[in-house]
């Protein structure tokens, strides 16, 4: 569980009663782009729940302040060398951007996740981490709406925690509805801190539901998030801005319920936790499709390779078959690590969240999303 000291509670109490900050006190949002890269050092590690740890990271240079700012809800890309291979992953920042001296990354150990196991099992205080960012558009800083509904499952609470901490520290005047689901009571990430924030922030309304409480003394709500839970917790739900973060099945079910309950699609923001497509274990190990490729010709100009792509295959998947090392992490279009330059031809991309207007003007595409509409040439 989250460790909350008396000092932390006092600090929340203080900020909750403080006057709203002036314009100059509010941290300016950083550009939504991977515009910083460098090293951060692990200053402390807190075990939140079994298998979930928070890593507090500070500048490895010894500087007092972080070399970047971020907007609540953004994430960092991190890279590790594991077993001789470079591996990238993206993790949401769980701390508030008002804390300029550090960021917290809260990571769940996935039994088959090489990077999360490396981080949770092996990372120690003092270790350095290669990182880049911040990135992501799943953000909320209080200017977008006058209330917010945050719906999270499991470790999907991490970006919500950044938003919740930030809005509380700013004494934001709007109502915050937090609906959080997880499997067992022991998996209540940030449970103590959420309760403490609730005590000092009367605008925070929390509903928690546990899906597998059997064999425990859990006395709260049981089962998955339902329409009844949503409407009971959030008055006038249809008129509010809603953010949802969790695994794909939970997100799809929750989105469908919210739309049925009248939430406008443009007020509904989602962030997937867990990639939709598994990456191959290493470059060149992707399964080769058996049928002959009949799609457009893809030329990787740096590697002097040109082959036809399969219908529905992405440029990243094809590059992996050919052992062309295009960096990647999320594989769902949000981290920006797989950017490559398209020098000829046209592609379709379902998600382009991590492309800036500059990228778009300069022919940069996301390899994990790009499906050629014509013969193409990419710089890779």
Kindly list the residues in this chain that would bind ligand FES in the complex (CB under 6 A): 328-331, 333-338, 354, 366, 368
Minimal distance, residue 137 CB to ligand FES, in Å: 12
Closest CB to ligand FES among residues 229, 315: 315
Output the smallest distance, CB 228 to ligand FES, in A: 36
Q: Which is nearer to ligand FES, 53 or 331 (CB)?
A: 331
Cα-Cα end-to-end distance for the chain: 45
CA 73-265-188 angle, 5° bins? 40
Q: Considering beta carbons, is residue 207 or 364 the nearer one to ligand FES?
A: 364
Burial class (CB in 10 A: 0-12, 13-18, 19+), 308: middle
- Rounded alpha-carbon distances, angstroms, from residue 101 to 55, 56, 69, 81: 14, 10, 10, 26
Q: Name the residue nearer to ligand FES (CB basis): 319 or 354.
A: 354
Q: CB of residue 279 vs ligand FES: minimum separation in angstroms?
A: 9
Task: Please identify, using beta-carbon distances, which residue of 100 and 277 lies nearer to ligand FES.
Answer: 277
Max Cα distance, the chain (Å):
66
Smallest distance from the beta carbon of 360 to ligand FES, in angstroms?
14
In the complex, the smallest distance separating the C-beta of residue 14 from ligand FES, rounded to whole angstroms, is 39
- From the centroid of its chain, how far is CA 72? 10
DSSP states along 7-36: HHHHHHHHHHHSPPPPGGGSPPPPPSS--E
Smallest gap from residue 20 Cβ to ligand FES (A)? 36
- In the complex with ligand FES, the residue whose CB is nearer, 6 or 276, is 276
Q: Which is nearer to ligand FES, 159 or 336 (CB)?
A: 336
- Cα–Cα distance between 286 and 321 in angstroms, integer? 6
- Spatial CB neighbours of 171, under 8 Å, sequence gap ≥ 6: 15, 16, 17, 18, 19, 20
CB of 88 to ligand FES, least distance (A): 8
Q: How far apart are CA 141 and CA 165, in angstroms?
A: 11
**8-state DSSP, 277:** S
């Amino acid at each position: 569980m989250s460790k909350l000291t008396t000092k932390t509670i006092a600090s929340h109490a203080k900020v909750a009663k403080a006057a709203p900050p002036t314009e100059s006190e509010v941290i300016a949002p950083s550009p939504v782009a991977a515009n910083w890269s460098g090293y951060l050092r692990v200053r402390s590690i807190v075990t939140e729940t079994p298998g979930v740890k928070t890593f507090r990271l500070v500048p490895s240079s010894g500087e007092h302040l972080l070399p970047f700012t971020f907007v609540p809800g953004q994430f960092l890309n991190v890279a590790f060398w594991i077993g001789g291979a470079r591996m990238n992953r993206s993790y949401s920042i769980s701390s508030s951007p008002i804390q300029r001296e550090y960021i917290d990354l809260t990571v769940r150990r996935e039994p088959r996740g090489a990077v999360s196991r490396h981080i949770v099992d092996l990372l120690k205080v003092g270790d350095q981490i290669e990182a880049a960012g911040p990135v992501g558009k799943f953000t909320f800083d209080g200017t977008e709406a006058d209330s917010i509904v945050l719906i999270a499952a499991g470790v999907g609470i991490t970006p919500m925690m950044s938003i919740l901490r930030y809005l509380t520290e700013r004494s934001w005047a709007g109502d915050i509805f937090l609906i959080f689901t997880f499997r067992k009571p022991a998996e209540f990430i940030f449970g103590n801190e959420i309760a403490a924030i609730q005590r000092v922030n009367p605008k925070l309304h929390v509903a928690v539901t546990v899906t597998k409480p059997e064999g425990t003394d859990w006395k709260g709500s049981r089962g998955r998030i339902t329409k009844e839970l949503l409407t009971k917790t959030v008055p006038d739900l249809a008129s509010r801005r809603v953010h949802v973060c969790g695994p794909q099945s939970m997100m799809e079910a929750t989105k469908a319920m919210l739309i049925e309950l009248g939430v406008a699609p443009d007020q509904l923001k989602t962030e997937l936790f867990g990639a939709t497509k598994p990456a191959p274990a290493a470059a060149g190990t992707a399964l080769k499709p058996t049928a002959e490729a009949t799609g457009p010709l893809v030329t990787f100009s740096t590697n002097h390779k040109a082959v036809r792509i399969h219908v529905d295959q992405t440029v990243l998947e094809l590059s992996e078959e050919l052992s062309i090392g295009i960096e990647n992490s999320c594989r769902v279009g949000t981290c920006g690590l797989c950017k490559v330059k398209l020098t000829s031809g046209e592609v379709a991309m379902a998600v382009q969240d991590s492309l800036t207007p500059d990228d778009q003007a300069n022919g940069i595409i996301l390899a994990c999303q790009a499906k050629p509409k014509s013969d193409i040439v990419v710089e890779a």
